[in-house]
Chains A and B, each alone.
Chain A
Amino acid sequence: NAGVTQTPKFQVLKTGQSMTLQCAQDMNHEYMSWYRQDPGMGLRLIHYSVGAGITDQGEVPNGYNVSRSTTEDFPLRLLSAAPSQTSVYFCASTPAGGRAVNGYTFGSGTRLTVV
C-alpha cells in the first residue's frame, strides 16, 4: 500500500545510546518532515527536507540528525539518547506545488522511551 512507513513501532533505549528511526515513502513526495508529539504540546517539527540532498532544522532540532540521500528515505538519528527525547515520533511527506491536495501524509509513528 502506498504511504509513509516508519520502523520500528516501539523502541526502548538507555541514556547515551544512539539509534536511527527509519522513514520511507513510495509516493514520490518531495517534502518530508519529522515531528515529535508530546502531551499538551501538539506536534513539533524536528527537521525537514525539501528534496534529496537538502535538509533543514525545525523547531526542536537539538540532539537529532537527518539526511536525505534519496527521495524515498528520510532517517532520523538520535546521537546520544536522553530521557527528554522520550516521545512519539511521526514522519510525514507531501508533494511539492499543486499536487499537495491533502496536506501531509503521516506514518503510524514510533513510540520511543529513553530510560
Chain B
Amino acid sequence: AQSVAQPEDQVNVAEGNPLTVKCTYSVSGNPYLFWYVQYPNRGLQFLLKYITGDNLVKGSYGFEAEFNKSQTSFHLKKPSALVSDSALYFCAVRGPVRSGSARQLTFGSGTQLTVLP
C-alpha cells in the first residue's frame, strides 16, 4: 500500500525567508508525486508534480520541489515566502499507472504554512 507522511502539522516562517514543507512517501515502483495547496473554504489547487526526469521540479507561484529517491522525499520549497503563501499544503503520491487502484491519490495529513509579516 502507498503512503505519505508530512511530519510537521504547522510551519511558521517570516516573510522573505526561504520555506520548506517536508514530505516522505512509500510506494511500490516509481512514484508519481504531487503537491496541492488549499486556501480556506476552497478546494485543492495543483502546485506541481514529479513524474520522471529532473529531480528539481518547478511549479506555480514560485514553488519548487526536490525529489530524492534514496530518501524517498519530495520536499516543497520556495526561496522567498510571501504572506499570501499562508495556506494548507498537501503532498500526495500515486503508484505506477497500471491499475485503477494505483491511479488513485494517497494524501498526507497536510501542513499548515503561516508566513508572518
Q: Check B109 against A58 for contact (C-beta < 8 Å).
A: no
Number of interface residues of B (CB under 8 A): 27
Complex interface: stretch among A14-22, A35-43, A67-75, A78-86: A35-43
- Total of A-B residue pairs, C-beta within 8 Å: 64
Q: Check B44 against A40 for contact (C-beta < 8 Å).
A: no
B→A interface (CB under 8 Å): 4, 6, 9, 32, 34, 36, 41-46, 49, 90, 92, 94, 97, 100-101, 103-110
A→B interface (CB under 8 Å): 4, 31, 33, 35, 40-45, 48, 50, 54, 56, 58, 90, 92, 94, 97, 100, 102-109
**A108-B90 contact, Cβ under 8 Å, with A42-B107, A58-B104, A103-B34:** no
Other-chain contact of A102, B6, B46, B92 (Cβ < 8 Å): B46
**A33-B90 contact, Cβ under 8 Å, with A40-B9, A107-B43, A108-B42:** no
State the Cβ distance, B27 to closest chain A Cβ, in Å. Answer: 15
Q: Check A50 against B90 for contact (C-beta < 8 Å).
A: no
